[in-house]
Structure 1
Amino acid sequence: MKKILSIIITKIAIMVLKLKKKGSSFPGKIALKICPDILKHVSKNVNTILITGTNGKTTTTALTNHIFNNSFINCFSNYTGANMLPGITTTYIKNYNLFNKKVSKTAIIEVDEASLKYICKFIEPKIIAVTNIFRDQLDRYGEVYTTLNHIKEGIKLCSNSKLILNGDEPLLCSLEKIYNSKYYFGFENYKSNSNQENLNVEATNCKFCGSPYEYNFITYNHLGNFKCSRCDFKREELDFSVADILENNINESIIKIKNNVITINQGGIHNIYNVLCAYAISSVCNIPDYIIIDSIKTFSNVFGRQENFKIKNNDITMFLVKNPAGFNETLNTINLNKQNEFYLGFLLNDNFADGQDISWIYDVNIEMINDFKLKEVFTGGTRTHDMGLRLNLGEVKNINIFEKYEEILDYLENKENETVYILCSYTCMLEFRRFLYSKKYIDSIW
């Protein structure tokens, strides 16, 4: 009785919140209050794929969902967010059929790294995919080994799940005493401009003997073809790999996987990793290459993740940034625009979902933007002055500091035919998009 009551009340709550264009975690909280193990019941007969990791979860989840839909697989996903237990519970209940419980579906679910163990308590997924592990929200996750342990705790509850792991990530190749079937993705080779002196120190030493890694190449941050300088720990053999990058500009990448030439409608190495992870998941699920390739080509950017729109006649691209690794890689991606001068915005909040400790902005290589073809920069959000200070310390010129989104919009509306890149922390992205939606500059909140 509790189960049925929980499902009915939650479905009503979902409908009410949908009318109000609100988020999707609250109905799940109601369901869990009424029936704490409701997720176990509503996930029966569902083939679940869980996607976790620090960066790239949302895009990888959305792309995988797009590929599965194009394969005519009956699937659902939470790629608009809500990746903790209440939000995931909402997603399953929303797609649960009270009158036909035996309908087989596939769920492609983004999971917060620290929440994986709570989800795996109720669900044994067919696949767990992990994109990467970087320093992120130090006040919540701690350092990278804490995040790794969160993920391991979840995996250990799911001995039959297949693991799809970033093979260029030393932390994921060190999953000792985990005996699940494993598939690794990464780069066969890469012409790298990075060097080990620029690396995040938390991830450059061997987890087994403590000696520093040596790299044949680095793609970004601490990802690449590594081996320990002392013991025999090294990168695993790759099952899915990028053989070549034929093109990489700010708007698109063209890569080779096996003998397939694949066009990606986003630039940047981080997006190639997202595609590679989705490709690996789909291949392990026996989806034909031609469907995967066509789906990647037709995939549209997820809201707030390299999202393109217009303000008046200005071209705006919005990027989500939430940690030093992602921020630096986003700046590297923007720097692929070598032709046009542009404006650059930084919107920073310190809400719980952003991480209340913003000291991480001092680990960002903000000085690199002094070599960009910049016209001006601007800041916004609750920590607009802190971001302005960071830019000032980086000797960046022409800084405009705004207190309100209205001021930013007025600033942009007075430009003509300009290119603008805006980097937002998570809640800034949500707030600014909602504000732009109210001004009819974007078509939907999600």
Structure 2
Amino acid sequence: MEERQMTLKSSLAIAAGKSSYWFLHNFMHGGTSLPGKITLSIDPDVLRDLAKNYEIVIITGTNGKTLTTALTVKVLQAKYGNILTNPSGSNMKQGIVTAFLTNKKRKNGKKIAVLETDEANVPIISEYIRPAAFVLTNLFRDQMDRYGEIYTTYEKILKGIRMHPKATVIANGDAPIFNSKELPNPLIYYGFDHQDDQEQMAPANTDGLLCPKCQHILHFKNLVYSNLGKYYCPNCGFKRPTLQYRVNKLSKQTPQSSTFEIDGHEMTIHIGGTYNIYNALAAYTIGAFLGVEPKKAVQALSDPDSKVFGRQEVINVNGKEVTLILVKNPVGLDQVLQMVKSDQEPFSLAILLNANYADGIDTSWIWDGRFEDLPFDRIPVVLTGGERYKDITFRLRVAGVPEKNFEQEEDLETVLKKIKAMPTKHAYVLATYTAVLQLRKMLAQQGYIKGGMD
């Protein structure tokens, strides 16, 4: 990656981007990607100038990028103060440029940027910056119309990593795919070691179960979910690498929180789901890599305010606790369903399905979620909505939702009215990306939350 002096073109581009952000932020309550688009239209190479002198961490993968980024920023702030990041989840090139444009510059001290990056954009971003680390959360089947199979997606990520052989790769060691290719980079692995070894196999329809060395079916001594765990190949000896950081104890899980230990350090994160423990473990590992003491990392991760837009935020709607959760692919959906069904109190459920480009236009992934496992006797109302409400309605009818508990509505304004009228204290709203945006915009307009996305 060649160095260059800041040119008049790049200076003009940056000035235009900052001006557009000021206007959009102050008058339109937005501005997460458009300022970047304007800047890049003037100087497509401007990111080289913007990212210069930063120690940069790129976080990518199918699920967990946004929360891992937010938690990592929390951990690093405990030692370094201001951290540049793209908190809105605008994770393509224009969103990352906007993050640099809008960052409050530090006069002294280490300049760190933690960037959530779309998988397909890793090689694009890597052309312009020099990362200290690449963080790989997981790879599952997701938006196949855009990404292809998981091996195709991994090759896109590797294309970016190979540009920077000295950058450290911090990877989920429980994912076999991240151990499938030889890399010259320094490697740090994290994962789960919270149970005694017990011989087991993953479910037959799980992706990524073939040994990358000999194509034999992988076995597990410990299975967390999907194909994540302590895997090994009984045919050729391929196995999970040594973990440098691990969850060694899982104490308590509810839909609202998880208590566990990382290398003997107990913490409670105020968000449910085993997948979010992986996100916290990744953030802890990045913190350790950048010199944050375990005690400070634990305090940061245990902060009740570590919440992230639309990923799993709890919104008070007229006294009702509405948990808004982004769902977008089979593994993520299935893990959310497992978390939701662990609620011991009666709850209402809404599932909102759109199929725009940002959601993925193929909705077949809804058939891989185990809706049949839901405790319908404790769910008095099941509401389906969104542009593809007929698809999700049919899926839930097949799953056995009692007809007397069923409601369906395409229009999201009516959906929100029905959510307000649900009879339980808790309501879970599972929604695809554009449906999350639409619902949040309505909630912001009605004063239940602040805006923050465009």
Q: Which residue of 2 aligns with 1:121?
A: 127
Q: Which residue of 2 aligns with 1:137?
A: 143
Deviates more, 1:209-218 or 1:16-25: 16-25
Q: Give the 3-state SS of the residue equivalent to 2:339 in structure 1.
A: helix
| Separation (CA, whole Å) in 2 of partners of 1:251 and 1:194 | 31
Query: What's the offset of the Cα at 1:415?
Result: 3.6
Which residue identity is paired with 1:238?
A: L
Does the aligned pair in 2 maintain the 1:194–1:219 contact within 8 Å?
A: no
Does the aligned pair in 2 maintain the 1:48–1:108 contact within 8 Å?
A: yes
Does 1:21 find its partner at 2:26? no
Query: What's the offset of the Cα at 1:242?
Result: 0.5
| Separation (CA, whole Å) in 2 of partners of 1:228 and 1:250 | 34
Does 1:150 find its partner at 2:136? no
| Separation (CA, whole Å) in 2 of partners of 1:14 and 1:103 | 26
Q: 2:320 is matched with which residue: 302, 305, 314?
A: 314
Q: Note closer, same or farther for the CA distance 1:433–1:238 as it changes in structure 2 (3 Å cut).
A: same
Query: What's the offset of the Cα at 1:194?
Result: 12
Does the aligned pair in 1 maintain the 2:66–2:116 contact within 8 Å?
A: yes
Give the alignment's TM-score, normalised by structure 1.
Answer: 0.95
Deviation per residue, 1:229-258 (Å, 9 max, x gap): 211210000000011111111111111112
Deviation per residue, 1:35-69 (Å, 9 max, x gap): 12110111111111110000000000001111222
Q: Which residue of 2 aligns with 1:425?
A: 432
Deviation per residue, 1:173-229 (Å, 9 max, x gap): 1132x1100000000134899963525443011111100000012111110110012
Query: What's the offset of the Cα at 1:123?
Result: 0.7
Which residue identity is paired with 1:235?
A: R
Query: What's the offset of the Cα at 1:332?
Result: 0.8
Q: Give the 3-state SS of the residue equivalent to 2:380 in structure 1.
A: strand
Deviates more, 1:220-229 or 1:190-199: 190-199
Which residue identity is paired with 2:450?
A: D
Q: Note closer, same or farther for the CA distance 1:274–1:197 as it changes in structure 2 (3 Å cut).
A: closer
Query: What's the offset of the Cα at 1:444?
Result: 3.4
CA RMSD of aligned residues (A): 2.0
Does 1:31 find its partner at 2:31? no
Which residue identity is paired with 2:82?
A: N
Which residue identity is paired with 2:307?
A: N
Deviation per residue, 1:8-31 (Å, 9 max, x gap): 001011111112022421221222
Query: What's the offset of the Cα at 1:138?
Result: 0.8
- Within 5 Å, give how 1:393-408 maps onto structure 2: 393-397=398-402, 398-408=405-415
Q: Note closer, same or farther for the CA distance 1:197–1:259 as it changes in structure 2 (3 Å cut).
A: closer
Query: What's the offset of the Cα at 1:7?
Result: 0.5
Q: 2:193 is matched with which residue: 184, 188, 191?
A: 188
- Within 5 Å, give how 1:293-442 maps onto structure 2: 293-298=298-303, 299-338=305-344, 340-370=345-375, 373-397=378-402, 398-442=405-449
Q: Note closer, same or farther for the CA distance 1:427–1:23 as it changes in structure 2 (3 Å cut).
A: farther
Q: Give the 3-state SS of the residue equivalent to 1:277 in structure 2.
A: helix
Give the number of equivalent residue pairs: 442
Which residue identity is paired with 2:247?
A: V
Q: Note closer, same or farther for the CA distance 1:199–1:425 as it changes in structure 2 (3 Å cut).
A: farther
| Separation (CA, whole Å) in 2 of partners of 1:279 and 1:196 | 29
Q: 2:290 is matched with which residue: 285, 290, 302?
A: 285
Which residue identity is paired with 1:247?
A: K
| Separation (CA, whole Å) in 2 of partners of 1:396 and 1:60 | 34
Q: Note closer, same or farther for the CA distance 1:58–1:194 as it changes in structure 2 (3 Å cut).
A: farther
Q: Give the 3-state SS of the residue equivalent to 2:240 in structure 1.
A: coil
Does 1:251 find its partner at 2:259? no
Q: Note closer, same or farther for the CA distance 1:40–1:199 as it changes in structure 2 (3 Å cut).
A: farther
| Separation (CA, whole Å) in 1 of partners of 2:35 and 2:451 | 21
Q: Which residue of 2 aligns with 1:85?
A: 93
Which residue identity is paired with 1:5?
A: L
Which residue identity is paired with 1:434?
A: K
Q: Note closer, same or farther for the CA distance 1:191–1:416 as it changes in structure 2 (3 Å cut).
A: farther
Q: Give the 3-state SS of the residue equivalent to 1:189 in structure 2.
A: coil
Q: Note closer, same or farther for the CA distance 1:323–1:372 as it changes in structure 2 (3 Å cut).
A: farther
Q: Give the 3-state SS of the residue equivalent to 1:50 in structure 2.
A: strand
Q: 2:64 is matched with which residue: 53, 56, 59?
A: 56
Does the aligned pair in 2 maintain the 1:42–1:96 contact within 8 Å?
A: no
Which residue identity is paired with 1:116?
A: V
Does the aligned pair in 1 maintain the 2:202–2:226 contact within 8 Å?
A: no
Name segments (4+ residues, structure 1) moved above 6 Å: 100-103, 191-195
Deviates more, 1:269-278 or 1:250-259: 250-259
Q: Which residue of 2 aligns with 1:95?
A: 103
Q: Which residue of 2 aligns with 1:7?
A: 14
Q: Which residue of 1 aligns with 2:112?
A: 106
Does the aligned pair in 2 maintain the 1:53–1:113 contact within 8 Å?
A: yes
Deviates more, 1:228-237 or 1:276-285: 228-237
Q: 2:78 is matched with which residue: 54, 57, 70?
A: 70
Q: Note closer, same or farther for the CA distance 1:191–1:325 as it changes in structure 2 (3 Å cut).
A: farther
Q: Which residue of 1 aligns with 2:224?
A: 219
Q: Which residue of 1 aligns with 2:55?
A: 47
| Separation (CA, whole Å) in 2 of partners of 1:328 and 1:403 | 23
Q: What 5-or-longer segments of structure 2 have no aligned partner?
A: 1-7
| Separation (CA, whole Å) in 1 of partners of 2:363 and 2:198 | 28
Which residue identity is paired with 2:160?
A: G
Does the aligned pair in 1 maintain the 2:200–2:221 contact within 8 Å?
A: no
| Separation (CA, whole Å) in 1 of partners of 2:437 and 2:447 | 15
Q: Note closer, same or farther for the CA distance 1:91–1:117 as it changes in structure 2 (3 Å cut).
A: same
Q: Note closer, same or farther for the CA distance 1:94–1:329 as it changes in structure 2 (3 Å cut).
A: same
Q: Note closer, same or farther for the CA distance 1:304–1:256 as it changes in structure 2 (3 Å cut).
A: same
| Separation (CA, whole Å) in 2 of partners of 1:319 and 1:413 | 17
Does the aligned pair in 2 maintain the 1:307–1:317 contact within 8 Å?
A: yes
Query: What's the offset of the Cα at 1:445?
Result: 3.6
Query: What's the offset of the Cα at 1:95?
Result: 2.5
